[in-house]
Structure 1
Amino acid sequence: MKVNGGPVPGNQPVTPSTTPPAAAGKGPVTLPGGKESVPVDPALSARQQLVQLQLANRETALARVAEILQQKGGGHELLLELRGRTLNVNIGNRPPEFSAGDLIKVMRAGNELQLMGKLAASQESTVARALAQRLPWQQSLPTGLQQLVSSLNNGVRPMVQPGQPPSANPPQPLPAAARQALESVLASLPKSNELAPGVGRTESTASQVRQWLSESGLFAESRLLQSSPKASAPNDLKLALARIASALLASQGQTSAHFNRLTPSSSPELMQAPLQYPQTATAPPTPQASTAEPASTGQVLRLLAGMLNRITVNQLHSQTLTTRAGGEAGAPVNTLLVDLPWLTPQQEPRAAQLRMEQYESNEENSGARSGRTSVSEWRLSLSMDLDEAGPLHFEVGFRYPDVSARVWAEKQTTLRQVNEELPLLRKSLTDLGLEVTDLECRRGAPKQAQTRLEHRLVDTKA
């Protein structure tokens, strides 16, 4: 017998452990993805622990292997995440047939648990696992771009060979391929002084915004599938960063295998709340001093790895939210999370965080075209931090022909200035044939929900 394509390990019984490791039972356990589960009280008997899990006799449930623990006598324990709690179970001296992250089906049989088999990974669990692996290793795009600009101007130090002092390798210019890719990206980034009030009504500006979204890196793999690598857009941010890394590796005689072994550099603000999107705007990156020591090739490669992880996290996060929508009423059917880098008049990199969601609803038709029609509603959230205006947050809702917009400003002077510009925004929207239902500016920042990583599987064979 097989369960979802996975072998059944003989309905092996396991007993809840009453001698857990020292770390267990002292509070919430943080699991991959940042989710916390409360441990079952290890002082209780096996029967009491199962009762605390609200697991009836002969009832089945899904559990996730959070960790595999080895005992002093050679035995093994599984730390299972089950119904929002963690439970230690003994599996004896036999080698564990599972690995951390596996999803398994368990059944209560008296005061024991029977492991019914490992479930095949679903698309959502695979994406969630990949997302959790990259969350701690994200590099902020504006900070990373600023350091790349510094390397463009000051060069990079080659890798130091064993036995050589650092002074033996003076800075060298970026390889030609890396310099060309970086200069192309910087030339294509939006400039803040190019978007004056009212220019959004022109078709050329709308086309430019579509191009910025297309080249954000979010669609890099899709672009490669649709065309040959030579025909791919040279300004796609993710592909351009990969080309810079390849050029640096080639200049040092290294392959992509070396790049995969590097520990990516990460930004502290992205580790504190990695799934909050858009994030509460943080202070712009501090400009590096012109006398700063040029970065080494290894440091630049680690920086590039972290920036690529940031874009990949946005891709996986978007996919996770879109995949979940099918099982939740009122959830968006499509979600896109994008970091959009741009340049200040002083050519300093910044980034805006864009969240776009599509909702579907059915409406009754009257007259000759009777029936139900699917109607789309779009919601857009935009967050950025400007040098003088400070943090700004925009929320726009659109369901033709109705449109609404709210702006949040954290500075009082910015709040006053935005209120002065609202009549121009209302007129611009009205000129486009839209009906403005709500338009206002508030002080502070909007409340934001945070994604949780979790596995939602339905066992259709149960």
Structure 2
Amino acid sequence: MKLPSGQQPPTPPAPATPRPAQTNDAGQPGRETAALSARQQLDQLQLANRETILARVTEIINRQGGGNAEVLLDVRGKPLQVSASIGATELTTGDWVKVMRAGNELQLMGKLAPTPEAAISRALAQRMPWQQSLDSGLAKLMTALNRGVVPELTSGQLPTGRSPQPLPEAARQALETLIGRLPASNTLAPGAGTQSNTVQQMRQWIAESGLFAESRLTQTPSSALPDLKLALGRMITGLLAEQSGDATTLFNRLTPLASPGLIQAPLQFPQALASPRPASSSEPISVGQTLRMLAGMLNRITVNQLHSQILTARGGGDTPAPASTMLMDLPWVTPQNEPRVAQLRIEQHKEDPASKGRDQKWAAISEWRLNLAIDLELAGALNFEVALRQQEVSARVWAEKQDTLKQVNEELPLLRRSLAELGLEVTDLECRRGSPLYPATKLEHRLVDTRA
């Protein structure tokens, strides 16, 4: 079989077997269990026997001697870790490979030649707007609310002659309103999800995340809307109003502050939760630093908006694109009034009518998938994966700490009852130790039409 570039594929190496999912019981990893787990993983990908598909290499986890390696593949938008003997085929992160299911194994059929779009994507990723994480930015803004900001130097003024001044009234009101609307972790108790007021709070939390700022303005053209992105814009306007000269031009020339992790992986979503906690410094920052920080926070929200559109519009290969994708950072505060961020990904997948026979009546069926990553003060890092298809729901919880894993397992019956009370049929519900293997999200091909 020839590749699209006209080159012959390399000699197919030994098949790659999907690694079995980890279980809480360490006493059952037998051969039958491993084979069953591999078959289940391939079945979940809706990959039929002898079917070929394109997959993307997202990570070379452990390259060993003799050509053996642990490889993380992105297959139809889902991560799949395999043990592979790749032989003379040199695989690197970002490569597209053609694989075929053979029973409970995946056979590597060949590697696709690099495309011009891949080089363009890498170049664009290096020039992404600098992003400031929302939690650390909000922590510094809270300090500015309490201690004020240091004004910029004027002509003839010495640096030692500056003392902190309160935020301008417009900026202070915008910040106080924003902080007052942030949800607190101690307001939600186990089982509260079935209450109508809690559901309404969650809807409001998502609606005011900043992801829908422009669409909300078209419906209600008022800059006073409670919205994270609009609130940051009001703070910027309030600070610029106190500056002399053409403040807007000066703001456009500012280099936004950026978080180190967001520079290294500007499109990774969710970000690793092992990052240091945002520390609120008692030292006041200057007006210029505040504006740079607000610019970086605006960039973060805007990148999530654009990234959501890219993931929705992407296409190509054998990987079906979601009908819609939404990526958002949801800020919240701890009981100690310290800001944190939960990262939410919502995808809608629609069933392909071509998969139905001519004699079968086809009705549009959507599957909604939700991924939530959050790091709690005592429970540690938690990841939630929920899939909803009509009235069927499945959920998987990942916990980093052993104590949290035990506590979540104790709460699973309550979660099952709560879902049943909503009229849903629970098909799968489990909790695992560790964290899921999310594929590295990068700029995909077809972001730019190179044929234009």
Question: What does residue 267 of structure 2 align with?
Answer: 275
Question: What does residue 238 of structure 2 align with?
Answer: 247
Question: Do the aligned partners of residues 439 and 300 (structure 1) sit closer, same or farther apart at CA in structure 2, a change above 3 Å counting?
Answer: same
Q: Deviations over 1:261-290 (max 9, x none)?
A: 00000111222222221122124524334x
Question: What does residue 189 of structure 1 align with?
Answer: 182
Partner-residue secondary structure (3-state), 1:340: strand
Structure 1 residues 111-130: aligned runs within 5 Å: none
Question: What does residue 225 of structure 1 align with?
Answer: 218
Question: What does residue 146 of structure 2 align with?
Answer: 153
The alignment status of 1:84 with 2:75, answered yes or no, reads no
Structure 1 residues 41-440: aligned runs within 5 Å: 84=114, 133-135=127-129, 137-230=130-223, 232-233=224-225, 235-253=226-244, 254-283=246-275, 285-289=277-281, 292-325=282-315, 329-362=319-352, 371-440=361-430
2:349–2:366 contact (8 Å) kept in structure 1:
yes
Q: TM-score, normalized by length of structure 1? A: 0.68
Q: Deviations over 1:82-118 (max 9, x none)?
A: x6378xxxxxxxxxxxxxx998xxxxxxxxxxxxxxx
The one-letter code matched in structure 1 to 2:146 is N
Q: Which moved more, 1:395-404 or 1:322-331?
A: 322-331
The one-letter code matched in structure 1 to 2:428 is D
The one-letter code matched in structure 1 to 2:290 is V
Question: Do the aligned partners of residues 342 and 334 (structure 1) sit closer, same or farther apart at CA in structure 2, a change above 3 Å counting?
Answer: same
Q: Deviations over 1:162-191 (max 9, x none)?
A: 442112221100000000000000111111
The one-letter code matched in structure 1 to 2:438 is Q
1:325–1:332 contact (8 Å) kept in structure 2:
no
How far the C-alpha of 1:408 sits from its partner, in A, is 0.5
Question: Structure 1: how far apart are the matches of 2:140 and 2:451?
Answer: 51
Question: Structure 1: how far apart are the matches of 2:134 and 2:128?
Answer: 15
Question: Structure 2: how far apart are the matches of 1:325 and 1:214?
Answer: 27
How far the C-alpha of 1:149 sits from its partner, in A, is 0.2
Question: Structure 2: how far apart are the matches of 1:214 and 1:189?
Answer: 12
Q: Percent identity?
A: 56
1:382–1:395 contact (8 Å) kept in structure 2:
yes
The one-letter code matched in structure 2 to 1:134 is M
Q: Deviations over 1:129-150 (max 9, x none)?
A: 9876434x11010000000000
Partner-residue secondary structure (3-state), 1:439: strand
Question: What does residue 66 of structure 2 align with?
Answer: none
Question: Structure 2: how far apart are the matches of 1:207 and 1:326?
Answer: 38
Partner-residue secondary structure (3-state), 2:428: strand
The one-letter code matched in structure 2 to 1:330 is P
Partner-residue secondary structure (3-state), 2:300: helix
Question: Structure 2: how far apart are the matches of 1:131 and 1:358?
Answer: 26
Gaps of 5+ in 2: 1-112
Question: Do the aligned partners of residues 200 and 131 (structure 1) sit closer, same or farther apart at CA in structure 2, a change above 3 Å counting?
Answer: farther
Partner-residue secondary structure (3-state), 1:240: helix
Question: Structure 2: how far apart are the matches of 1:458 and 1:299?
Answer: 38
Is the radius of gyration larger for structure 1 or structure 2? Answer: 1
Q: Which moved more, 1:274-283 or 1:401-410?
A: 274-283
Q: Deviations over 1:23-62 (max 9, x none)?
A: xxxxxxxxxxxxxxxxxxxxxxxxxxxxxxxxxxxxxxxx
Q: Deviations over 1:277-313 (max 9, x none)?
A: 1122124524334xx3210000000000110010011
How far the C-alpha of 1:402 sits from its partner, in A, is 0.7
Question: Structure 2: how far apart are the matches of 1:338 and 1:85?
Answer: 30
Question: Do the aligned partners of residues 321 and 413 (structure 1) sit closer, same or farther apart at CA in structure 2, a change above 3 Å counting?
Answer: same
Question: Structure 2: how far apart are the matches of 1:102 and 1:277?
Answer: 21
Q: Deviations over 1:205-230 (max 9, x none)?
A: 11111111111000111122222235
Question: What does residue 17 of structure 1 align with?
Answer: none
Question: Structure 2: how far apart are the matches of 1:131 and 1:360?
Answer: 29
Question: Structure 1: how far apart are the matches of 2:365 and 2:123?
Answer: 34
2:329–2:343 contact (8 Å) kept in structure 1:
yes
Cα RMSD over matched residues?
A: 3.0
Partner-residue secondary structure (3-state), 2:442: coil
How far the C-alpha of 1:455 sits from its partner, in A, is 4.0
Q: How many residues align?
A: 338
How far the C-alpha of 1:432 sits from its partner, in A, is 1.2
Partner-residue secondary structure (3-state), 2:363: strand
Could you say which structure has the greater relative contact order, defined with CA pairs below 8 angstroms and 6 or more residues apart?
2
Superposed structure 1 runs of 4+ greater than 4 Å apart: 128-132, 325-329, 457-461
How far the C-alpha of 1:414 sits from its partner, in A, is 0.7
Q: Deviations over 1:331-354 (max 9, x none)?
A: 211000000000111111001000
Q: TM-score, normalized by length of structure 2? A: 0.69
Question: Structure 1: how far apart are the matches of 2:285 and 2:322?
Answer: 43
Question: Do the aligned partners of residues 205 and 264 (structure 1) sit closer, same or farther apart at CA in structure 2, a change above 3 Å counting?
Answer: same
Partner-residue secondary structure (3-state), 1:251: coil
Question: Do the aligned partners of residues 164 and 199 (structure 1) sit closer, same or farther apart at CA in structure 2, a change above 3 Å counting?
Answer: same
1:131–1:313 contact (8 Å) kept in structure 2:
no
